[in-house]
Amino acid sequence: MLIRRRRSIESPPPVIDCARLLLYAVNDSDVSYTGRLSLHVGIPPDMKQVGELPGIVILRPYNEPEDFLIGFCDDAWAVQGIVATNSLEQAKQKAASYYAGIESKWLESPYSEGEIREYLVREYDVDPDTEWWAD
């Protein structure tokens, strides 16, 4: 599958699949997909391999805050596959093994605590002061 290399896509939302956005990067012309990612998603026998995608995010799940997730996203920031790691540094290193050159592309989440709270209320219809992810 050929990925159109765009210089920029819109910023991802502050929360993706019940996980808080920490960092994100765009797979642009300065980044090379290495093909080292061996990630399959789906239910057998309908499994599909996750290949090169335009967006990469590092997330912190609300229900497992000790984990760091690498999300491989389409151009609308919908996650197509996830790899779990134990630390932010490990997530960055693994992402770099899948996408050479991504190291210099990471951008911090642009959202304030207030914006994240508003997003959770508006999009998830939850009270951010509760353990809404446990329900």
Mean pLDDT of 61-86: 94
Handedness of CA 87, 93, 96, 98 (dihedral sign): negative
Predicted structure pTM score: 0.89
pLDDT at 8: 58
pLDDT in tens, 41-61: 888 888 888 888 999 999 999
pLDDT at 7: 44
pLDDT in tens, 77-118: 999 999 999 999 999 999 999 999 999 999 999 999 999 999
For residue 11, what are the contacts with CB-CB under 8 A and spacing of at least 6?
Answer: 24, 107, 110
